[in-house]
Amino acid sequence: MVNEAEVNEYATRQLRALRTARGLSQTKLAWKMNISPQQVQKYEWGINHLSISRLVQFAHALEVSVTVFFPGIDIDHPCEPIPQPTVRFLRLLNKILPRYWDDIYEALKVMSRLTGKDCQ
């Protein structure tokens, strides 16, 4: 049986992970949704319960499928929060023009070979 508290806790973790991965502050996300930053904080901390309609709004603002907020449903997204080093890397990558991404990828491949860990 589905435990509502566990699902809500999972959704709050995903909300924070997705927001930080996109380099959005609580204020910027709140602005996109036309709510207060305090409301975003309360959702992320689990103080306010996330309704289905609010999850749909967050999904739209974060440009993801609403299913990422439900454990075990969305197989295209990780079921665990995004590790902090990955979040930091993605924040920086979001500040770089997309036309340079292939060059960055190639540089990272070279770096991984130097450390002895090959990538594809």
Full set of structural domains in the chain with CATH: 4-82 (1.10.260.40)
pLDDT score at 76 = 54
**pLDDT over 80 at 27, yes or no:** yes
Q: What is the pLDDT of residue 108?
A: 85
Cα separation of 22 and 114, whole Å? 29
Per-residue b/e over 94-115, b at no fewer than 16 CB within 10 Å? Answer: eeeeeeeeeeeeeeeeeeeeee
| Residue 80 C-beta-side C-alpha neighbours within 13 Å | 5
Q: Rounded to an integer, what distance in angstroms lies between the CA atom of residue 2 and that of residue 69? A: 14
Among 19-28, 50-59, 85-94, which is the least confidently predicted range?
A: 85-94
Q: What is the CA radius of gyration of the chain?
A: 17
Mean pLDDT of the chain: 84
Planar angle of CA 118, 119, 120, nearest 5 degrees: 135
Q: What is the pLDDT at residue 116?
A: 72
Sorting pLDDT into bands at 50, 70 and 90, what band is 118?
low
Could you count the other beta carbons within 10 Å of the beta carbon of residue 42?
15
